[in-house]
């Protein structure tokens, strides 16, 4: 079992796991940041960027995406988890924004400030705690941390947050906000997402190859996948 590591040290190790060239598109306007957040939640930065590019390449504009089928849009999310669910979320987001503004320009909303924008956007079904924290951090420069399901799971196993706390996204976000300095948030999110998606799967985490295995108190506590027994076909009796 790994010795318990101090939280500041653990945070530093997570920051070091971030992809070396984190190409998160900087300074996207509010509307595009919302779309990007749907790509980025529970996805690696490269997967998210590829999905975001595909959306812009395959469709004429966001209105065309709004009126397309989830099946057509899901093709852009290949490589991300649950492509169809993401597509449905995106359609729902675009529909809500279109009904509220008759377009996709949210700059007047952005000018009113983070609290007002988050309050309005929180009414949309497709917008969750991750989305709100993402735009808070990326668009408004807030000291906050977008937390997705994989990050929450991994933070609990690593002992960054208590197990009970890790069951709730908002509680996990608030706890993590006190541990990570503003300048390190991007790398922390990228690093924790990388570990969560590459090794710290919900079922059968790959602790053996995990880059944080020495720092993790839960390392090796999970059972290996049970091999599926394939029954041998019975030899058929030869006709006499
Ligand atoms: S060592 Fe295992 S449980 Fe710990 S973070 Fe890595 S994959 Fe997850």
| pLDDT tens digits along 96-140 | 999 999 999 999 999 999 999 999 999 999 999 999 999 999 999
Residue 207 beta carbon below 6 angstroms from any ligand 1 atom? yes
Ligand 1 atom closest to the Cα of residue 217 is: 4
What pLDDT was estimated at residue 226? 60
Distance from C-alpha of 89 to C-alpha of 86, rounded to nearest angstrom:
5
Sorted by where each starts, the structural domains of the chain and their CATH numbers stand as 7-21+148-215 (1.10.1670), 30-138 (1.10.340.30)
Is the pLDDT confidence value at 25 over 80? Answer: no
The per-residue DSSP string of 163-192 comes to TTGGG-HHHHHHHHHTTS-GGGHHHHHHHH
Distance from C-alpha of 29 to C-alpha of 32, rounded to nearest angstrom:
6
What pLDDT was estimated at residue 19? 81
By mean pLDDT, which of 77-86, 152-161, 220-229, 231-240 is the weakest? 231-240
What pLDDT was estimated at residue 5? 83
Residue 145 beta carbon below 6 angstroms from any ligand 1 atom? no
Listed residue (149, 87, 140) closest to 118, CA to CA: 140
What pLDDT was estimated at residue 4? 74
Residue 200 beta carbon below 6 angstroms from any ligand 1 atom? yes
Is the pLDDT confidence value at 22 over 90? Answer: no
User: What's phi and psi for 55, nearest 5 deg?
Assistant: -60, -40
What pLDDT was estimated at residue 27? 79
pLDDT per residue over 38-96, tens digit each?
A: 999 999 888 999 999 999 999 999 999 999 999 999 999 998 999 999 999 999 999 99
Residue 154 beta carbon below 6 angstroms from any ligand 1 atom? yes
Listed residue (84, 87, 37, 53) closest to 67, CA to CA: 87
Ligand 1 centroid–CA 221 distance in Å is 9
Is the pLDDT confidence value at 143 over 50? Answer: yes
Distance from C-alpha of 216 to C-alpha of 223, rounded to nearest angstrom:
16
Distance from C-alpha of 2 to C-alpha of 120, rounded to nearest angstrom:
45
């Amino acid at each position: 079992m790994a010795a318990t590591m101090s939280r500041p040290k653990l945070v530093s190790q997570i920051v070091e796991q971030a992809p070396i060239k984190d190409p998160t598109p900087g300074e996207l306007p509010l509307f595009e940041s919302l779309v990007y957040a749907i790509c980025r939640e529970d996805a690696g930065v490269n997967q998210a960027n590829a999905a975001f590019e595909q959306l812009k390449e395959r469709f004429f504009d966001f209105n065309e995406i709004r009126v397309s089928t989830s099946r057509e849009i899901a093709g852009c999310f290949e490589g991300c988890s649950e492509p169809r669910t993401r597509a449905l979320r995106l359609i729902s987001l675009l529909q809500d924004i279109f009904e509220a503004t008759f377009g996709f320009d949210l700059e007047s909303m952005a000018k009113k400030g983070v609290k007002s924008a988050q309050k309005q956007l929180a009414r949309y079904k497709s917008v969750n705690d991750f989305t709100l924290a993402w735009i808070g951090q990326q668009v408004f420069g807030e000291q906050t941390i977008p937390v997705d399901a994989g990050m929450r799971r991994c933070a609990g196993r690593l002992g960054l947050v208590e197990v009970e706390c890790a069951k709730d996204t908002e509680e996990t976000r608030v706890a993590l906000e006190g541990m990570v300095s503003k300048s390190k948030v991007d790398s922390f999110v990228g690093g924790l997402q990388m570990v969560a998606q590459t090794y710290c799967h919900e079922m059968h985490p790959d602790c053996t190859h995990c880059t944080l295995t020495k720092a993790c108190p839960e390392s090796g506590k999970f059972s290996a996948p049970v091999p599926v027994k394939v029954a041998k076909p019975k030899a058929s009796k030869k006709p006499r």
